[in-house]
Amino acid sequence: MGKTEARDIFFNYIKEKGLRYTKQREAILGAFLASGKHITIDDLYTAVKKTNQDIGYATVHRNLKLMTECGLADEIKIGSHKARFEQKYGHEHHDHLICMKCGRFIEVHDEKIEKLQGKLAEANDFVPMRHKLEIYGMCKKCR
Amino acid sequence: MGKTEARDIFFNYIKEKGLRYTKQREAILGAFLASGKHITIDDLYTAVKKTNQDIGYATVHRNLKLMTECGLADEIKIGSHKARFEQKYGHEHHDHLICMKCGRFIEVHDEKIEKLQGKLAEANDFVPMRHKLEIYGMCKKCR
DNA sequence: CTAATATTGATAACTATTATCAATATAACA
DNA sequence: TGTTATATTGATAATAGTTATCAATATTAG
């Protein structure tokens, strides 16, 4: 799960699509991989700015989309808030418990639920490709 | 599950909050209850316009929010598309299979999954209040 | 080195939603 | 019923988040 591998995935994808290597891409990828979970575009923009003052917001946005396309990032939207992106590479699939009071996320995973979801889709003549399970409620601290 | 009951819920809620009865509210509620599943604000606005030419978009929007507040409607957001609202009253809870090609929704329900979700939350010291499960993939027609 | 073109950064445009506000409608009460 | 306080409406402005535009620049293949 090294950053090198993630880097390879990204730049291989870039190459395959006939796109080009740029300093900005390197910087944005680096900042994203160094970031925590669930980063927003704004956060990433701010982070990249530290090492690359002249970068534009649109560039960060575009490249975050590219990372999503090639499978390194996943876009998640919670409620009406702005989009957040989380690292997919080197991270297992998981669902979210979302506290309605403090907004905190808890990552969870249940293999039984995963399997049942597959069956449920099958039973409806549906080929599942990905899914999103969000459970809203109150976390320990907030009650 | 008559419309009368839904009407009562709405106007009782209105009254309790010290709000007022208006023709517009009546019309918007009626149009919503008469609508199909997963209506957008635009759709509802168009529908209400037919019987009530002078109604404003903002009024439809505000009242749809009110209906959501009192539990008659549920807001669902799919991807980056605009919000859709579905009738909750008289409709059982369900999850969605969403076709990534045609955008069609299939409503599904699995009691086992529901229960496992409850356990999963519990195991994380989390009090679940509602949840959203969306499975993305390809429907029968689209493959 | 050159030419073709992908990328960038600034910003305009766009979409969906929400806020503003004067005019009007409603409901409580005299 | 008439009066009054104020909730509601409709038109539109404002906002937030995202995406498109475009001239200048950087990258890559040859």
Please write the tens of the pLDDT for every residue from B55-75.
999 999 999 999 999 999 988
Question: Within this chain, do residues B79 and B15 fall inside the same structural domain, yes or no?
Answer: yes
Question: Within this chain, do residues A63 and A118 fall inside the same structural domain, yes or no?
Answer: no
Protein residue minimizing CA–C1' distance to D19: A58
Closest by CA to B133, choosing from A134, A50, A96, A129, is A134
Which residue among B45, B60, B87 closes a domain? B87
- Tell me what the pLDDT averaged over chain B comes to: 89
Which tops the pLDDT comparison, B104 or B34?
A: B34
* pLDDT at res. A37: 77
Closest by CA to A41, choosing from A96, A98, A84, A93, is A84
As for how many domains chain A has, the answer is 2
Which residue among A61, A87, A113 closes a domain? A87
Q: Are strands B73-76 and B84-87 parallel, antiparallel or unpaired?
A: antiparallel
Residue A16 pLDDT > 80? yes
Question: Within this chain, do residues B7 and B62 fall inside the same structural domain, yes or no?
Answer: yes
Question: Within this chain, do residues A8 and A71 fall inside the same structural domain, yes or no?
Answer: yes
Contact (CB<8Å) B126/A136: no
Domain that holds residue A99: 95-142
Please write the tens of the pLDDT for every residue from A81-101.
678 899 988 888 889 898 877
Question: Within this chain, do residues A48 and A81 fall inside the same structural domain, yes or no?
Answer: yes
Please write the tens of the pLDDT for every residue from B103-112.
677 889 999 9
CATH of the domain at B135: 3.30.1490.190
Question: Within this chain, do residues B109 and B67 fall inside the same structural domain, yes or no?
Answer: no
Q: Which member of A108, A120, A133 has the closest CB to residue B110? A: A120
Protein residue minimizing CA–C1' distance to C20: B58
**Helix, coil or strand: residue B127:** strand
Residue A80 pLDDT > 70? no
Contact (CB<8Å) A127/B138: yes
Which tops the pLDDT comparison, A77 or A7?
A: A7
